[in-house]
Amino acid sequence: MNIRKAFFVFAMLLMAMTVLAHRPHEKKAGTFLRSDGTEISIVRYYVDGIVISDPVSIQFRLPDGAEIAHTRRAPDAVVRRVPDGLEIYQFPHNWLPVADRIDFFDGYKLKDITTEKRSASSLIHFTEHLTGYFVAFGMTIIFTVLWSTRENASKRRWRVVLRRTAYVLIALYAYDVLWFSPLSPLVIAAFAAVFVGLYSLACKRKPRQL
């Protein structure tokens, strides 16, 4: 690749990043009733991640909007209610869902409880994102079945178009999982490998029709 082509590719990537960029935004994630009766707002505050998932900070605010405390920014953060407060699990990346920081919020301040709770962080991650994993596993199963039966598929035009559309949708979803969602690509890849292996074995054992 010569200098002109390299500069062109760099300029296009810079333009794409500029188009995708957006301002910080926030989303209310519920409320927490403090021991003195004050209702604390739980807010997920996002900053621009451009081509990756937006880093999020969990903020706690009084009814007048004043902030009490906030966590650091992380690719994913899960808020878990416990009897005497809230636990905030912060994950440094999505590939290996193990929290590197866990805070406890009692309505007044944050306390680091990483050492005591880290061993349970993966379970908390899967519990929080269970629906997303079911969808990802379903897409994996559909893609495997479509791909394995492509040679025997009907050649009718509308069915060919339908299959290709399904491939495109699955590819787009896979891209979303890899870059923008809090799901672990390693977990999905492991499931896909196991399913493909079992499916291939089942197909080989299926008796051939004479």
Q: Where are the domains of the chain?
A: 24-127, 130-205
pLDDT at 53 (0 to 100): 67
- With a cut of 60, say whether residue 161 has pLDDT above it: yes
Instruction: Give 45's pLDDT tier (boundaries 50, 70, 90).
Output: very high
- With a cut of 60, say whether residue 146 has pLDDT above it: yes
- With a cut of 80, say whether residue 4 has pLDDT above it: no
pLDDT at 5 (0 to 100): 54
Query: Distances in Å between the alpha carbon of 58 and those of 29, 40, 46, 91, 172?
Result: 9, 12, 9, 13, 29
Phi, psi of 112 (to 5 degrees): -75, 120
Mention every residue, 6+ apart, whose C-beta is less than 8 A from residue 27: 43, 44, 46
**Under a CB-based contact definition with an 8 Å cutoff, are residues 75 and 55 in contact?**
yes
Average pLDDT of span 31-36: 92
Size of the chain in residues: 210
β-bridge pairing 110-112 and 25-33: unpaired
pTM attached to this predicted model: 0.75
Query: How many other CB atoms are there within 10 angstroms of residue 86's CB atom?
Result: 20
pLDDT at 210 (0 to 100): 43
Instruction: Give 177's pLDDT tier (boundaries 50, 70, 90).
Output: low
Percent of the chain with pLDDT over 70: 77
